[in-house]
Structure 1
Amino acid sequence: MTATSRRSRPLACVLATLCLVLATALIGAAAAHAAEPFGFVDGSVGVSTSTTQAGGHPDLNVRFALTSVMARHPIIDALEMPRPLETARDVVVDLPPGIVGNPGAIPRCAAADFFASSCPPESQVGVIRTNVFFIPGNEPNAVFNVVPSHGAPAEFAFIKLGLPIHMLVSVRDGDHGLRTTIANLPTQGAMSSADMTLWGVPGDPSHDAERQTSLTGEVPVRPFMTNAATCDGPTRAEISLETYDNPGRTIATTAPMAQLTGCEQQRFAATGSARPDTTKAGAPAGWTVELDVPQDQTVDGLATPPVKDVVVRLPRGTVVSPSASDGLRTCPAAAMKLATSEVPDCPAASKIGSVQIDTPLLARPMTGSVFLLDQTPQRLLRMVLVAEGAGVRLKLPGEIDLDPVSGQVTATFANNPQLPFNHLTVALKGGPRAPLANPRACGPASTSTALTPWGGGRPAVSTDTVEIACDGAPSGFAPAFSAGSASTQAGAASAFSLTFARTDGDDLLKAIDVTMPAGLMPRLASTPLCGEAQAAAGSCGEASRIGSAQTSAGPGSLPFELPGRVYVTGPYKGAPYGLSIVVPAKAGPFDLGTVVVRAAVFVDLRTAALRIASDPLPTILQGIPLQIRSVRVAIDKPGFMLNPTSCAPRTVGAAIAAAGGAVAQRSSRYQVGGCRSLAYTPKLAVRVGARGQTRAGRRTSLVATLTQPAAQAANRSVRLALPKVLNARLDVVERACTQAAYDAGTCGAAARIGSATAVTPLLPKSLSGPAYFVRNPARRLPDIVVQLRGDVAIDLVGRVVITRDLRLTTTFDRIPDVPLSRFQLTLPASSGPVGVVRDLCTKAARLARARQGLRAQNGRLLRRADRLTIAGCAKQKK
């Protein structure tokens, strides 16, 4: 075009506009007489490329014609022209996914230059021919690559009737194909047809004849249009429009396109790498994953296929960190608006990283954030990369798979948009709340990345290795342990707690076996035991709850805290009682279910001291290694735990096992005070005799009954020396069983000398059982072993001696520090352990006294010499 024609354009535009305005009034009247409905003319719609080579750089042609009638030109009587039945307002062309244009490869025309009709010739990307009513001829108009003015990634424009026509290019929702929109077409002339060609290589000299302006210099020869990379089958483009005549009505048609070929000729090379922001073993770390896809942007080559699938498998040992859960939130799927390009309405706490995408289609990188999506029944972890730039917003959903045994992390992003990128960076945040933690083992750690292209090519697999360093961190297993009662008052009810913990450098915790100090006892009389089924399921009732648990999990300085509850249960694994420790594993927004850790509660046969042996602690839940740092168990039900009544120094012992097999022995000093303030007023009554059992030489029954008020110091030893009117029957002594037989439970009836019953306020039922004579190699006379059985099993051992003054004396000197309301030992005459030396009904026998020595756990000693209660004597007359 010459300079003169450029100056005359404004005048021509005015004249043409006036003519069109005059003619517009005729359009509405003539439309009423149309013989057929308005739409696209059959056979007129076409979208085609000049080559079907996948990844090639074709010229793209789009054409269509609208239903029209022949109408006489209002000025030139002899001229008839097609006039569309309706006036198009908006035209939208949707290309199949994968067909892209690279506006950055072609110079852009500034807005001022475009309106001045002085765009540089190298910015022309094609031509368009449009038929407009009242404008004779169908001369081509140049299509320019202009600077986008409406936030679109690309914009093309041409001038018709002296008016600028803009074509905005966008990425549509769903399949991310390109959409070109011509909005608000001029009303001054109704367009009846259009035929546009965008050049695959605008700088190719073959297009010189169609350029609006003669070239004054060298035009860069770079590819502009690119075919899709897939050869799966014929595809379709869609053209739709709306008119001024019927707003809101959309008329659409599809245009089949030829199947692409030559997919096997495309070349795809890509690599991936992953690096933590710290290489410290086991530490929370911000991992950065980078993908490089070199792009072939040469004219003679084929474009690099876009990446379809990405699979990144982080090093074994790199795991999801529970420490990240505190304060973390997820983005609901509805708020993410995944199927649209709308701005997601996600909470800030669901953002776990950043993303940057460098694409040859845009001048600047797309940037955005990584959001954690909400949990579903099928998938625990999901994330979405949201990146935007130049009017394009992409949402790339990914699924995270966790190995159920090792916790190894694999991220998969499948069916990505058919849009090329040359570099993608995903940086997950670091610090104590980082979502990932490094391997705990030192040495090389390798990431595997597989990138699969569109078009059926083979995946590009690469590995990247980073060296994980211990950095002088301690290794091995040296856990900490502490325990104690909240109150140190002897005999008082007090909460009791214990804590065991490890550092990041320690091996993982596996189990704990705790030996409680003697005398620290639970009060079970008023606490119902949880049934086995409920205990295993973690569904015990609140009445069985005796305390709470607090577990911290995760590496680093800010592990996540998980509260739990402790219930007392019935027999478990051979122990008379058990614990069900229930921890709802709800880590931040993630519900990993309910963890139930069982423990067996044993009672020592001689001291009644408790031993609590836990089952193995969980190490991984749904692929997330817990990395338990500490466990605190508090038995804090009011009035449940009772302190010892002995103020002797004791310990709480613990054997803490590691996952690697090591066992650490730990202890915590334990001692109560205020023992001297405890009262001690037990009563011991001895009754002998019965009808026919009072004469000398006879065997007689003996019943010793000990009673004691509540809230006193417990008994430590009881010594009873019978008066000389009584002695031991040696034939019964000879029937004593051996210790081995007793331990094996095979003591016969001959060794049984009586029975006993004990009542304690700690248990809902009394304990009772037989008493045996059991030989003790260290002593001449056998011991009396009282076998108390019930909810628990206790053996009381009495040492039997005959003193120098010939008194039969029995001493129970190792009585457990347990409160007793009543204890009764019955030695019947039938078993014959006690014999009568002097007639029990005589005055001398009635005046005989049994010497008693009762010592409390707090050291208090009571000495008494009480008369026997003798039964079986005839009543004396007054």
Structure 2
Amino acid sequence: MGEPKDLRISFPPGFLGNPSATPRCTAAEFQAGDESQCPNASAVGVARIEYGDGIEIESTESPVYNLYPTPGYPAKFGFIIQKIAPVTIDAAINPNPPYNVIAEVTNASQAAFLIASEVTIWGDPGSPAYDTERGSCLKGGGNCPVSIDPIPFLTLPTDCSEPLTFGLEADPWEGSEPFKGQASIEDESLPAGALSPTECESLEFGPQFSAEPTSSQGGSASGLDANVDVTDAGLVSFGGRASSTIKKTVVTLPEGMTLNPSQANGLGACSEAELARESADSQPGDGCPLNSKVGSVEAETPLLENTVLHGSLYVATPHENPYGSLIALYMVIRDKELGVSVKLPAKVEADPTTGQLTTTLGEGAYPIPQVPVSHFRFHFREGPQSPLVTPEQCGSYEIKASFTPWSDPTSTFEESSSFDVTSGPTGGPCTTDPDPFGPGFEAGSTDNHAGRYSPVFMRLTRSDTEQELTRLSATFPPGLVGKIAGLGRCGEEAIAAAKARTGAQELASPSCPASSQFGRTLAGAGVGEVLTYVPGSLYLAGPYNGAPLSIVAITPAVAGPFDLGTVVVRLALDLNPITAQVEVNGAASDPFPRILQGIPLRLRDLRVYVDRPNFTINPTSCVEESFSALLFGAALDPFSGADDASVQLSDRFQAADCASLSYKPKIALRLNGGTKRTKHPALQVRITPRPGDANLGRAVLSLPKTEFIDNAHISNPCTRPQFAANQCPPGSILGTARATSPLLDEPLEGLLYFRSNGGERLLPDVVVSLHGLFDVVAVGEVRSKKGRITTTFNNLPDAATSKIVISLYGGKKGLLVNNTNLCAKPRRADSKLVGQNGRRLESRPVVAMRCANRKK
């Protein structure tokens, strides 16, 4: 090997020196003249060197001095070979695990050809045992006592599980290849293991721990301050033994103190590649993105007197971190002046049921370096986007910490620290148990003109002091309905697939077809003034829990760097059979999710937009109505709906400009069958509304005086309980009905029944019972006035129809009986049709029939 240019010696992890143990020598003193003028008190050892010119070999001794370090290094040592060749040794901390000490000689002098060297560093430089070798006395003779504190200069590792191994790398000035090798500190002249650490199990270990959130308000955004203090008198006392260094720390927050969804708003993450770019002299943002920083860290070590090392805490990229976990942190400590760069991952585990947090630093293959630390301070940022939320209830809470020593990894040292929650959110009174529940509710259409298509919105809100929302029932105003015709469906397979996908997958390629989407959502989660909003989509799906249709709310739970999967909430959708009002049945619907992968959502703001073009249409009645909602909140047990609180809320709604709607439907009647007296003709009534007109609200129809009700057919009407149970006797069936609507793909069809009315009227009611996608029931009140049968349908649903056909049976099943020959002359009915906007159309339509000797 050629003459050495650069030398690099790596020390075992935990094998450390204390440059603060002695005074330091300045560069000017070290390089003054032929001999160093360094103070004797700065001497820390002796270098013995063999050198020569290739023919003759000479040897010399030189004191080793503790020098002021080069920028970028924590320590520096130096000695001079025979007055002409200064040699300096820079001590650095390895920027990569295991963060051991590395001694470097760079550009070694060629003034003397180095053959061999032996450098001895004293364990206690101030000891009188070295007075004759110290500094100027090494060559000048005599004693050179110093008055410095007897502080140990070297400390062995506190881990006895591995032998002490040194590494050497050397680069020549020219010629040969670089040399790399390893050597054990063990010498053949010593018994095996003589200089390896022993008796680690007897080392003291007792870190002190304290921690508290930055806010004492319950249920509020908060940072966290945590401190670890280690008193280690043996480390700075010659003859004593240092305490064990910390290998692993586990901190468990109390139940109820969880992650804050608000922090995800604008939060970034640090990838492993970005972490690798973090170095002692990198600038903020060169490595981990600035928006991934959630806190800071400070560290002090007795080995660097009056020095505080500063660092940052970053959110690691979910799942692409050393632990492959959803939540992880990177602790990065950097000091450009000292050349220190330490990067450690921390694993964060959130209980999937309660959200309780456990953070581990030093897990597995990433232990805390064997460097004595007298003080650690972790600070997680405060403010509206703090990473944590305090427990909701006032009281005392405990943060637990477990420390594992390097000296005995099988043992742990337990500590705890308590803090108090003294008020409710925003400093108000402490919350009750259960919390109050008074959420906000608003709803409406963006354009309330009667009969127009318009987007519809709904919003649910709550404050931090209120119970969390768990589910909802909702009822739209009469007449505010959706056009189902032409709208696709999201199938069961697609819904199941959505539940199994990541949020990113769902965003890239929605599971449900676009033809089934009719709206969107925006969910705001978190606490305090700043929430994290996540968009979602609303799709129409098939039957669910007894309802004929369902709404599928699909939300890719992607917020900041976190992907919590795809949230699927299915809501049972039905139509009120009497009013045709749109209803969401909360009892048959899925609850709102409360926690995802250990992160409580804390839903505060839910916005629903039904905005598919030409989907929702306004009523044609301008009577004041309302949106209503029954909201449920988590009471004492947030994981059970058995004790949920509920509150009924409403928001006024009224359509406008109903008078501008026309109303000119057509009505036609026809009697089929026997026309002679005592015959039972069949009756068909056909109503044909015009598109764009107001909807039918009331219908009054008086038959010609020629028609009576055959009393033989009214002796067995259907009772109301029988009708409700769908068990009407066959004899109560009077005919059929069919309604066609532009809002539905298929018409509604059903039967006409004679149904008892509870005694309010002499004659039973005629009830139209329609079935199809939805059930609709219309009740006609039958009266005999001035010898004419009059049927009145009041309060008909405000829903668009294109044709209504009602057919009464004739013959043996016929309800009507002729009291004269129908063909004697034209017969007219009286009709009064009233639109939902109040417009009337009164007419006397001729009843069509088949008569042999006159025109029909």
Q: Same fold (TM over 0.5)?
A: yes
From 411, 428, 450, the counterpart of 1:472: 428
1:489 is aligned to 2:449 = yes
Larger radius of gyration: 1
User: How far off its partner does 1:115 sit?
Assistant: 2.0
Matched with 2:764 is 782
From 65, 89, 97, the counterpart of 2:5: 89
From 847, 852, 855, the counterpart of 1:874: 852
From 239, 247, 264, the counterpart of 2:201: 264
Matched with 1:703 is 684
- In the alignment, residue 106 of structure 1 is paired with which amino acid? T
- In the alignment, residue 591 of structure 2 is paired with which amino acid? P
1:383 is aligned to 2:343 = no
User: How far off its partner does 1:551 sit?
Assistant: 0.8
Tell me, yes or no, if the aligned pair for 2:222 and 2:382 is still in contact at 8 Å: yes
1:799 is aligned to 2:747 = no
Tell me, yes or no, if the aligned pair for 1:92 and 1:179 is still in contact at 8 Å: yes
Give me the whole-angstrom Cα distance separating, in 2, the residues matched to 1:317 and 1:648.
48
Change (3 A) 1:248 1:445: farther
Give me the whole-angstrom Cα distance separating, in 2, the residues matched to 1:852 and 1:875.
27
Q: Deviations over 1:215-248 (max 9, x none)?
A: 2542321111001101114232122322223265
Give me the whole-angstrom Cα distance separating, in 2, the residues matched to 1:152 and 1:596.
56
Change (3 A) 1:877 1:89: closer
Matched with 2:615 is 640
Give me the whole-angstrom Cα distance separating, in 1, the residues matched to 2:260 and 2:438.
22
User: How far off its partner does 1:209 sit?
Assistant: 2.9
Change (3 A) 1:110 1:876: closer
Give me the whole-angstrom Cα distance separating, in 1, the residues matched to 2:397 and 2:814.
79
Tell me, yes or no, if the aligned pair for 2:278 and 2:288 is still in contact at 8 Å: no
* Superposition map of 1:8-407 within 5 A: 38=1, 86-116=2-32, 117-134=36-53, 137-162=58-83, 163-172=85-94, 173-212=96-135, 213=137, 214-246=143-175, 249-257=178-186, 258=193, 259-296=196-233, 297-337=236-276, 343=282, 345-363=287-305, 364-376=307-319, 378-389=324-335, 390-407=338-355
User: How far off its partner does 1:300 sit?
Assistant: 2.2
Give me the whole-angstrom Cα distance separating, in 2, the residues matched to 1:328 and 1:595.
21
User: How far off its partner does 1:166 sit?
Assistant: 0.3
- In the alignment, residue 228 of structure 1 is paired with which amino acid? P
Give me the whole-angstrom Cα distance separating, in 2, the residues matched to 1:877 and 1:306.
112
1:581 is aligned to 2:553 = yes
- In the alignment, residue 313 of structure 1 is paired with which amino acid? T
Tell me, yes or no, if the aligned pair for 1:797 and 1:814 is still in contact at 8 Å: no
Give me the whole-angstrom Cα distance separating, in 2, the residues matched to 1:219 and 1:808.
122
Matched with 1:511 is 471
Q: Deviations over 1:478-528 (max 9, x none)?
A: 100001111111111111111010011111111111111111110111212
Change (3 A) 1:570 1:753: same
Give me the whole-angstrom Cα distance separating, in 2, the residues matched to 1:738 and 1:149.
101
Tell me, what secondary structure is at the counterpart of 1:849? coil
- In the alignment, residue 249 of structure 2 is paired with which amino acid? V
Change (3 A) 1:254 1:342: farther
Q: Which stretch has the larger CA shift, 309-318 or 471-480?
A: 471-480
1:674 is aligned to 2:626 = no
Change (3 A) 1:514 1:194: same
Tell me, yes or no, if the aligned pair for 2:128 and 2:145 is still in contact at 8 Å: no
Tell me, yes or no, if the aligned pair for 2:86 and 2:109 is still in contact at 8 Å: no
Tell me, yes or no, if the aligned pair for 2:70 and 2:90 is still in contact at 8 Å: no
1:561 is aligned to 2:561 = no
User: How far off its partner does 1:339 sit?
Assistant: 9.8
Tell me, what secondary structure is at the counterpart of 1:567? strand
1:547 is aligned to 2:524 = no
Q: Deviations over 1:554-613 (max 9, x none)?
A: 111010111111112222221122111111111112111111111111111111111113
Give me the whole-angstrom Cα distance separating, in 2, the residues matched to 1:279 and 1:339.
35
Tell me, yes or no, if the aligned pair for 1:92 and 1:239 is still in contact at 8 Å: yes
1:849 is aligned to 2:834 = no
Give me the whole-angstrom Cα distance separating, in 2, the residues matched to 1:720 and 1:743.
26
- In the alignment, residue 196 of structure 1 is paired with which amino acid? V
* Superposition map of 1:415-454 within 5 A: 415-454=367-406
Identity %: 34
Matched with 1:749 is 730
Tell me, yes or no, if the aligned pair for 1:647 and 1:675 is still in contact at 8 Å: yes
User: How far off its partner does 1:340 sit?
Assistant: 7.4
Tell me, what secondary structure is at the counterpart of 1:814? coil
Give me the whole-angstrom Cα distance separating, in 2, the residues matched to 1:253 and 1:867.
114
Tell me, what secondary structure is at the counterpart of 2:263? helix
User: How far off its partner does 1:140 sit?
Assistant: 2.3
Tell me, what secondary structure is at the counterpart of 1:140? strand
Tell me, yes or no, if the aligned pair for 1:549 and 1:564 is still in contact at 8 Å: yes
What is the aligned length?
A: 787
Q: Which stretch has the larger CA shift, 852-861 or 239-248?
A: 239-248
- In the alignment, residue 643 of structure 1 is paired with which amino acid? N
User: How far off its partner does 1:136 sit?
Assistant: 5.2
Give me the whole-angstrom Cα distance separating, in 1, the residues matched to 2:145 and 2:163.
41
- In the alignment, residue 828 of structure 1 is paired with which amino acid? Y
User: How far off its partner does 1:192 sit?
Assistant: 1.6
Tell me, yes or no, if the aligned pair for 2:40 and 2:146 is still in contact at 8 Å: no
Give me the whole-angstrom Cα distance separating, in 2, the residues matched to 1:168 and 1:176.
16
Matched with 1:15 is none
Matched with 1:66 is none
Matched with 1:821 is 802
Change (3 A) 1:708 1:216: same
- In the alignment, residue 310 of structure 1 is paired with which amino acid? T
TM-score (normalised: structure 2)? 0.89
Could you list the runs of 5+ residues in structure 1 that have no partner in the other structure?
1-37, 39-85
Tell me, what secondary structure is at the counterpart of 1:734? coil
Tell me, yes or no, if the aligned pair for 1:271 and 1:449 is still in contact at 8 Å: no
Tell me, what secondary structure is at the counterpart of 2:325? coil
Give me the whole-angstrom Cα distance separating, in 1, the residues matched to 2:22 and 2:344.
28
User: How far off its partner does 1:839 sit?
Assistant: 1.1
Tell me, yes or no, if the aligned pair for 2:169 and 2:178 is still in contact at 8 Å: no
Tell me, yes or no, if the aligned pair for 2:278 and 2:287 is still in contact at 8 Å: no
Tell me, what secondary structure is at the counterpart of 1:349? helix
Tell me, yes or no, if the aligned pair for 1:291 and 1:425 is still in contact at 8 Å: yes
Tell me, what secondary structure is at the counterpart of 2:129? helix
TM-score (normalised: structure 1)? 0.87
Matched with 2:630 is 655
Give me the whole-angstrom Cα distance separating, in 2, the residues matched to 1:643 and 1:520.
5
- In the alignment, residue 659 of structure 2 is paired with which amino acid? R
User: How far off its partner does 1:476 sit?
Assistant: 1.1
Tell me, yes or no, if the aligned pair for 2:402 and 2:413 is still in contact at 8 Å: yes
Tell me, what secondary structure is at the counterpart of 2:539? strand
Tell me, yes or no, if the aligned pair for 1:488 and 1:671 is still in contact at 8 Å: yes
User: How far off its partner does 1:338 sit?
Assistant: 7.5
Give me the whole-angstrom Cα distance separating, in 1, the residues matched to 2:309 and 2:689.
83
Matched with 2:639 is none
Give me the whole-angstrom Cα distance separating, in 2, the residues matched to 1:253 and 1:555.
56
Give me the whole-angstrom Cα distance separating, in 2, the residues matched to 1:488 and 1:410.
52
Q: Deviations over 1:290-345 (max 9, x none)?
A: 11121222212211111100111122222111111122111121011079767462
1:529 is aligned to 2:511 = no
Tell me, yes or no, if the aligned pair for 1:689 and 1:840 is still in contact at 8 Å: no
